[in-house]
């Protein structure tokens, strides 16, 4: 099974297991409290019905009016400031639910607006987060060099650590500010910031909903808008650093598999050419020394590393060969090798064509002894010991 499929199945199993664990924990923590709260509310409703002599129908109507009045308790929601606040919650997918369009035209526009705005916002935050990560990596590299550290490279662990503490700092700053403005406890303000910046947006805690803050506190409104957008950028940078690395693993594996298949295809072509040239090498070697010697080149091409003295330049055959790791300045020409075979001593070992295996042992001069076609050429057999 492919690695990508195994990883996907593992992620599916982990996600469902995580869901089951979360459901069990929330059941244990919230179930009893929910039951007790429901009993208290039912008792209170019975008390109100008896105290004010309300029928069941009148009580339901009163309850409906109270629920409808709840969004208006914070003041006007659909002036420009409130509309801007709502637009932020739409395109960032926070969705508090504190306000919702009531007209059909508003609902249609909300769907179209979200359809275009959500992808645009996601791309913007991810791109901005990537730029922030690049700047932080450069800044950290410069700091390490100024401090004279031996290793100035910025590792993934450094970036993750900085991103993590940046997220924690952003949440703490917001918690301190909202606990002051909204008169919440620090824990509840921190909870609100976390739910907001992770775009969960339950709506149980919503800023700017007290004392008509949207109209009467412009500084607080501006701070709230800037904080939400800045905090989402910081979270986006951290997610760009951590989560997207795992999201691109499948794409990298697919690319690696494609390159491997292409290499196998090229190797198959080179092997077929090698087999054809090897079959014609023996008769040619008996008939004519020079022509048969050239046919040995196809067998040499089969190896990815070899001594420089066996590197034959043949443009006709190079187009079928696979990439090799021998530097071109270590290569010798066909002419010199042929001259050495026909009349030894006529081609002196100049620095440009001498065998480098005699001067120093090369880490790349290793070829298996399967060059059977070289047996017909005694001049080369002397040099096979260096291969």
Q: Which two tokens stand for residue 60?
A: 């339901």
- The confidence band for 308, taking pLDDT boundaries of 50, 70 and 90, is very low
Contacts of range 61-68, beta carbons closer than 8 Å, 24 or more positions apart: none
pLDDT at 274: 59
CA distances, 6 to each of 2, 9, 10, 17, 18 (Å): 6, 5, 6, 16, 18
Nearest to 113 by CA among 101, 97, 99: 101
pLDDT at 206: 94
Q: What is the DSSP string of 111-173?
A: HHHHHHHHHHHHHHHHHHHHHHHHHHHHHHHHHHHHTT-S--PPPHHHHHHHHHHHHHHHHHH
Q: Is 176 left (phi over 0), alpha (psi -120 to 50) or beta?
A: alpha
- The confidence band for 276, taking pLDDT boundaries of 50, 70 and 90, is low
Total residues found in the chain within this entry: 387
pTM value > 0.95? no
Task: Choose from 63-72, 110-119, 131-140, 337-346 the range with maximum mean pLDDT.
Answer: 110-119
Average pLDDT, whole number, for the chain? 77
- The confidence band for 244, taking pLDDT boundaries of 50, 70 and 90, is low
Q: How far is the C-alpha of 334 from the C-alpha of 10, rounded, in Å?
A: 56
Q: How far is the C-alpha of 366 from the C-alpha of 385, rounded, in Å?
A: 10
Place of tokens 């991810």: 126
pLDDT digits (tens, 9 = 90+) for 184-214: 999 999 999 999 999 999 999 999 988 888 8
pLDDT digits (tens, 9 = 90+) for 341-369: 445 444 444 444 444 444 444 444 444 44
């Amino acid at each position: 099974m492919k690695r990508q499929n195994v990883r996907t199945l593992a992620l599916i199993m982990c996600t469902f297991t995580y869901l089951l664990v979360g459901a069990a924990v929330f059941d244990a923590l919230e179930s009893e409290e929910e039951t007790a709260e429901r009993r208290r509310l039912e008792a209170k409703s019975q008390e109100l019905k008896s105290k004010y002599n309300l029928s069941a129908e009148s009580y339901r109507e009163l309850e409906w009016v109270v629920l409808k009045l709840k969004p208006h308790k914070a003041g006007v929601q659909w002036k420009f400031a409130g509309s801007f606040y709502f637009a932020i919650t739409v395109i960032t997918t926070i969705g508090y639910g504190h306000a919702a369009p009531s007209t059909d035209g508003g609902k249609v526009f909300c769907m179209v607006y979200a359809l275009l705005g959500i992808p645009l916002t996601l791309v913007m935050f991810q791109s901005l987060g990537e730029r922030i990560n690049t700047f932080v990596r450069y800044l950290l590299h410069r700091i390490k060099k100024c401090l004279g550290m031996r290793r100035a490279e910025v590792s993934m662990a450094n970036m993750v650590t900085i991103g993590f503490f940046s997220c924690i700092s952003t949440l703490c700053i917001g918690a301190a500010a909202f606990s002051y403005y909204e008169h919440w406890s620090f824990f509840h303000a921190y909870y609100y910031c976390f739910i907001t910046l992770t775009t969960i947006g339950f709506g149980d805690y919503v800023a700017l909903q007290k004392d008509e803050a949207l109209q009467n506190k412009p500084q607080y409104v501006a701070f709230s808008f800037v904080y939400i957008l800045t905090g989402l950028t910081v979270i986006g940078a951290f997610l760009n650093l951590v989560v997207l690395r795992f999201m691109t693993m499948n794409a990298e594996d697919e690319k690696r598999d494609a390159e491997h298949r292409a290499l196998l295809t090229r190797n198959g072509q080179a092997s077929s050419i090698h087999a054809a040239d090897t079959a014609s090498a023996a008769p040619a070697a008996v008939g004519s020394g020079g022509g048969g010697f050239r046919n040995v080149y196809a067998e040499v091409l089969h190896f990815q590393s070899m001594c420089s003295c066996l590197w034959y330049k043949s443009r006709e055959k190079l187009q079928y060969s696979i990439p090799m790791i021998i530097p071109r300045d270590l290569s010798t020409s066909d002419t010199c090798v042929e001259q050495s075979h026909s009349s030894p001593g006529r081609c002196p070992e100049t620095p440009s064509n001498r065998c480098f295996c005699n001067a120093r042992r090369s880490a790349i001069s290793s070829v298996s002894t399967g060059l059977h076609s070289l047996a017909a050429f005694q001049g080369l057999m002397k040099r096979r010991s260096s291969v």
